[in-house]
Amino acid sequence: EDQVTQSPEALRLQEGESSSLNCSYTVSGLRGLFWYRQDPGKGPEFLFTLYSAGEEKEKERLKATLTKKESFLHITAPKPEDSATYLCAGERGSTLGRLYFGRGTQLTVWP
């Protein structure tokens, strides 16, 4: 069964305290791994797509990495405005467009 699991469910960080969010997947023939940010009551906002193990992508304080079994979203020196729920989703290569989402990690950064 295709599945994406995110951990931890919730994470509280002090401003400037770096950490990582985990996304483990068992999606058959993974074609792409997607990261989104979602603010309360809003639609998800696209962050990154990773396609192959070893790939890394960065955007401001965020860096996403991918291995054959999991992906990490590293947050360096976070600020309160980074507080949000971060979602990851895997796409199976044989069924393009079918994303399997994890439940998300709710990140809170306090000053």
Partner 1 sequence: DGGITQSPKYLFRKEGQNVTLSCEQNLNHDAMYWYRQDPGQGLRLIYYSQIVNDFQKGDIAEGYSVSREKKESFPLTVTSAQKNPTAFYLCASSGWRGETQYFGPGTRLLVL
Q: What is the closest distance, in whole angstroms, from the C-beta atom of residue 39 to partner 1 in the complex?
A: 10
Q: Are strands 10-14 and 105-110 parallel, antiparallel or unpaired?
A: parallel
| Other Cβ atoms within 10 Å of 38 Cβ, number | 15
Peptide bond into 44 cis (omega under 30): no
d(CA 39, CA 68): 29
Nearer to partner 1 among residue 11 and residue 76 (C-beta) = 11
Q: What is the closest distance, in whole angstroms, from the C-beta atom of residue 85 to partner 1 in the complex?
A: 10
3-state secondary structure of 74: strand
Residues near partner 1, by CB under 8 A: 4, 31-32, 34, 36, 41-46, 49, 87, 89, 91, 96-104
Nearer to partner 1 among residue 57 and residue 76 (C-beta) = 57
Nearer to partner 1 among residue 18 and residue 26 (C-beta) = 26
